[in-house]
Amino acid sequence: MKKPMNLFAAATLAVAVVLGSPAAWAGSMAAVDQSGDGNYTVVYQNKNKTRVKSWTASNPAQQFVSDKKIRAAIKQATRYRPVQGGKMGGRGCGFGRGTNGTYVTQTGYGNNAFAAQSGTNNVADVYQDGNNNASYIVQKGSGHEAYSTQSGNDNVSVIVQRC
């Protein structure tokens, strides 16, 4: 009788921990699927927040402005910030919530995708089919995975992973 009681107590404790955990620890997910030409996507994930911006640039002036937005986002995400650590309780590389997922699929000509993630154990996956496409993935923290698959000609992919 003692063994089933211990099993019941352990199961009850496990359910209480799972249900009592804050939703922020669950992470977040963004999925974008675009078809056609001149599509742009920007995904920001930080702790339990996800922001997605997607748009289409249909003429050269809109493409110029869109390219400028992408460059500004990359510059912002890759700017240097020293890691706070070295003392007890200091923030190091693995600090922060994460487990975010970003999945972007784009088909067409001249598409751009940008994903920025921070925290730990994030996954970013970009698939692009067509010509003159570009993908940029920036991940800060530790334990990340990034994948970029492109088919076609004149495509560019940049992945930055750092502490």
Q: Domain for residue 57, yes or no?
A: yes
Domain count of the fold of the chain = 1
- For the chain, the average pLDDT equals 74
pLDDT tier at 127 (50, 70, 90 boundaries)? Answer: very high
Say yes or no to pLDDT of 129 above 90.
Answer: yes
Residue 66 covered by a domain: yes
Q: Which domain holds residue 106?
A: 28-78+94-162
Whole-number pLDDT of residue 98? 59
9 assigned to some structural domain: no
Take residue 100 and report the two structure tokens written for it. 């975010």
Neighbours of 16 (CB within 10 A): 10
Q: Note the Cα 32 to chain centre separation in Å.
A: 12
Q: Looking at the whole model, is its pTM more than 0.85?
A: no
Q: What is the mean predicted confidence (pLDDT) over 142-148?
A: 86
What's the mean pLDDT in 72-100? Answer: 61
85 in a structural domain: no
Please indicate, yes or no, if residue 88 is contained in any of the structural domains: no
pLDDT digits (tens, 9 = 90+) for 54-63: 888 889 999 8
Indicate whether 144 pLDDT > 70.
yes
Instruction: Give residue-wise pLDDT tens across range 2-44.
Output: 444 443 433 333 333 333 333 333 456 777 888 888 888 888 8
State the pLDDT at residue 94: 52
Q: What is the pLDDT of residue 35?
A: 83
Residue 65 counted as domain residue: yes
In a domain, 61, yes or no: yes
